[in-house]
Structure 1
Amino acid sequence: MRILLLGGTSFIGRTIADEALHSGADVTLFNRGRTNPGLFPSATRLTGDRDTGDYSALRSGSWDAVVDLSGFFPRQVTEAMEALGDSVGRYLFISSHAVYERAGLAPGSDESTPRRAPLQDAEDLDEETYGRLKVACEDEVVARYGERATIVRPGKVAGPHDDQRGLTYWARRAARGGRIALPGRPEQPVQVVDSRDLARFVLRLVEDERPGAFHAVGPAEPVTLGGVIATCAEVAGTEVEVVPVPPETAPPPFFPLVREKPLWPGQQRDASRARAAGLPTTPLAVTAADVLAWDRDRGAPPLGHGFTPEDEARILAEHAGGH
């Protein structure tokens, strides 16, 4: 199996590349060569830049499948497809749950849920444009490849090398134990998918040549944000007390795994189609333990999101009686 990854050296792409190489696939990485350039010496490397439209390195060679990890704007997807021409068999696009309309969304919604209106020409990624741009990207892939197009819409991805910092923050915080400030509701549903499960699923879809869209969400059993924190404490061997505090205490731009509307059903997607297609389900406790071990091994550097210990102590004192 010859696989081309557009990206492939940070978090999700890194995990997919690692899984593909371990499976014996012939892996080619296309990126700018700036992030983790020493990774995967056995992979073929092609240098280009999607921001400037430099896809010249893709105009020679052929692959059984391409996995597009870094397509955020429709022009990026279109330019990549034009450069590749007929040199790839299947185009698998990593999309997002942000593609869906939120109005009228019900818990347990599947891949047929109405999507937002596509957006072609925005230059900035924000809450308003991100999902609509992904819709347009999906449409471009399906229009070009038809039955050779596969769309994967992951939930919150967690695992070692997590540069999204969602579960990493809670694993680290729960390991300290004690009273934990949560600027949201403990009963908020959360769908966390292990990055290694996502990687294995992507490779399975490619190998099986499966078309269509899939929700890559987990874990296997429903879990709340309070349950996530409790699981992180359990694997760390600590005792914690979750203390809800006002959402306005959370620093911008977001707080790890906390939704602005905590009970929004977007955190309750139906994963049955993906499960039937082979999506594996690593237990949340295993994911949390592996994230904590990885974070400790790298020295637990600043995350840039969530509360600092000093801010959390102050917020608990101000909003929870300080005891």
Structure 2
Amino acid sequence: MRILVLGGTWFLGRAVAEAALARGWEVTVFHRGRTGTPPDGARTVHGDRTVAADLARLAGEGRWDAVVDTSAGELPPRDVLAGARLLEPVAGRYVFTSTVNAYRGWPDEPLSEDSLLLDGPPDADGDYGRLPADWDGPDWYYGRQKAGAERAVTSAFGAALTVILRPGVILGPGEYVGRLPWWLHRAEQGGRMIAPGSPEKAIQPVDVRDVADFALLQATAEGGGAYNCAAPVGHSTMGDFLTACVLATGGEAQLVWAPDKLLVDHGVSQWTELPLWRTHAGVWRVDSTRAQAAGLTCRPLSETVADTWAWLRGGGAPVTHPRQAEHGIAPEKEASLLAVLGRTDQPPRAS
């Protein structure tokens, strides 16, 4: 099996390349050489996927059985389209990593693969979907861009040879966004620690290695389709998650559960100041049964947490990603919330 990984040096892309090499596959990694390095054993082609000459040179290195695209990131649909068109003659199928943001109803509604997608033409530029500064409604810009990128790949390869993966939150070793690393570092500090919402709140993060395995499974499958890549509803809770963070880092932190209303009333930014906390009804109600039926398996969240802590202690990411700065509540703000909650002698609520 010969695969091309677009990306291959950070997080999901590297996990895909590593998993493919472990299977004995021949792996080519296309990246710019700016962040991280591909795993040993992968063949490297340097280039920028927004540069037509680089893409043409890459296509000349083919043929591959499949492309696994993990690096579209902030690329506009038209750049994804240009690359897919150049690769279509030299690749058998295309596995594209999108996001649940492509759904019009996320994060407010429960979702399945049959849910309505946002608009987004396959040839849209980076300005498509931007909203005026005074807009006070939902910001669908990113989702429109990703929905357009999905259509770009499908238009180039056809529905039968295109697989769309729509993850929600991906965690695990190599995470550069900073959600799980922030919680682990906070738990390491010990003391009374704000725990958002309810310990019984179901959450659905998925391990990066499980997404990588599923991507490779789809690279060898027949037919196309779209799959929500999330852990099953009920797989884990916020209590499970934070307890695992405390245990992995030594067990010194004490969880102090803060109700949603208190956090909202005190202006805590959802999704960032307390990562993974969000009150929207659909954020953790993503139906992934289709992916599970197609072979997605999800390891225990406690394993993801423990392995990420081991990775962080071993040095962590070689490059600091700018999104890390978005995550985490300031110590002073956390202290003020803890003061409001009071009852310092009350043990943390069991998860």
What TM-score range do you get, normalising by the shorter chain?
0.7 to 0.9
Pick closer, same or farther for the CA change 1:253–1:215 going to 2, 3 Å. Answer: closer
After TM superposition, the score normalised by the length of structure 1 is 0.87
1:31 positional shift: 1.2
Asked whether the 8 Å contact 2:107–2:280 carries over to 1, the reply is no
Match of 1:294 in 2: 311
Q: Secondary structure at the match of 1:115?
A: coil
Greater shift in the superposed pair: 250-259 or 27-36? 250-259
Pick closer, same or farther for the CA change 1:74–1:218 going to 2, 3 Å. Answer: same
1:265 positional shift: 1.2
User: What is the distance in 2 between the residues matched to 1:219 and 1:234?
Assistant: 23
1:230 positional shift: 2.1
1:111 positional shift: 0.7
Match of 1:209 in 2: 222
User: What is the distance in 2 between the residues matched to 1:152 and 1:193?
Assistant: 12
User: What is the distance in 1 between the residues matched to 2:27 and 2:317?
Assistant: 31
Asked whether the 8 Å contact 1:95–1:152 carries over to 2, the reply is yes
Match of 1:254 in 2: 272
Match of 1:67 in 2: 68
Greater shift in the superposed pair: 179-188 or 155-164? 179-188
User: What is the distance in 1 between the residues matched to 2:165 and 2:93?
Assistant: 13
User: What is the distance in 1 between the residues matched to 2:249 and 2:128?
Assistant: 40
Q: Which amino acid aligns with 1:173?
A: R
User: What is the distance in 2 between the residues matched to 1:314 and 1:90?
Assistant: 53
Correspondence 1:20-39 to 2 at 5 A: 20-37=20-37, 39=38
Correspondence 1:231-250 to 2 at 5 A: 231-238=244-251, 240-244=254-258, 246-247=263-264, 248-250=266-268
Correspondence 1:20-169 to 2 at 5 A: 20-37=20-37, 39-53=38-52, 54-60=54-60, 61-71=62-72, 72-102=75-105, 106-107=109-110, 109-118=111-120, 120-123=124-127, 127-145=139-157, 146-169=159-182
Correspondence 1:186-197 to 2 at 5 A: 186=199, 188-197=201-210
User: What is the distance in 1 between the residues matched to 2:234 and 2:118?
Assistant: 28
1:125 positional shift: 9.1
User: What is the distance in 2 between the residues matched to 1:75 and 1:186?
Assistant: 43
Pick closer, same or farther for the CA change 1:274–1:281 going to 2, 3 Å. Answer: same
1:162 positional shift: 0.5
Match of 1:170 in 2: 183
Greater shift in the superposed pair: 61-70 or 241-250? 241-250
Asked whether the 8 Å contact 1:90–1:209 carries over to 2, the reply is no
1:219 positional shift: 5.5
User: What is the distance in 2 between the residues matched to 1:104 and 1:200?
Assistant: 26
Q: Which amino acid aligns with 2:102?
A: V
After TM superposition, the score normalised by the length of structure 2 is 0.81
Pick closer, same or farther for the CA change 1:213–1:31 going to 2, 3 Å. Answer: same
Alignment length (residue pairs): 318
Unpaired segments ≥5 residues, structure 2: 131-138, 345-351
Unpaired segments ≥5 residues, structure 1: none
Asked whether the 8 Å contact 2:174–2:316 carries over to 1, the reply is no
Pick closer, same or farther for the CA change 1:57–1:253 going to 2, 3 Å. Answer: farther
Asked whether the 8 Å contact 1:226–1:242 carries over to 2, the reply is no
Q: Which amino acid aligns with 2:334?
A: E
Pick closer, same or farther for the CA change 1:192–1:58 going to 2, 3 Å. Answer: same
**RMSD of Structure 2 on Structure 1 (CA):** 2.8
1:226 positional shift: 3.3
Asked whether the 8 Å contact 1:47–1:57 carries over to 2, the reply is no
Q: Secondary structure at the match of 1:150?
A: strand
Q: Give per-residue Cα distances to partners, 1:271-322, cap 9 Å, x unaligned.
A: 11111111122111111111111112227999532024455334423x3348
Q: Secondary structure at the match of 1:86?
A: helix
Greater shift in the superposed pair: 289-298 or 124-133? 124-133
1:68 positional shift: 1.2
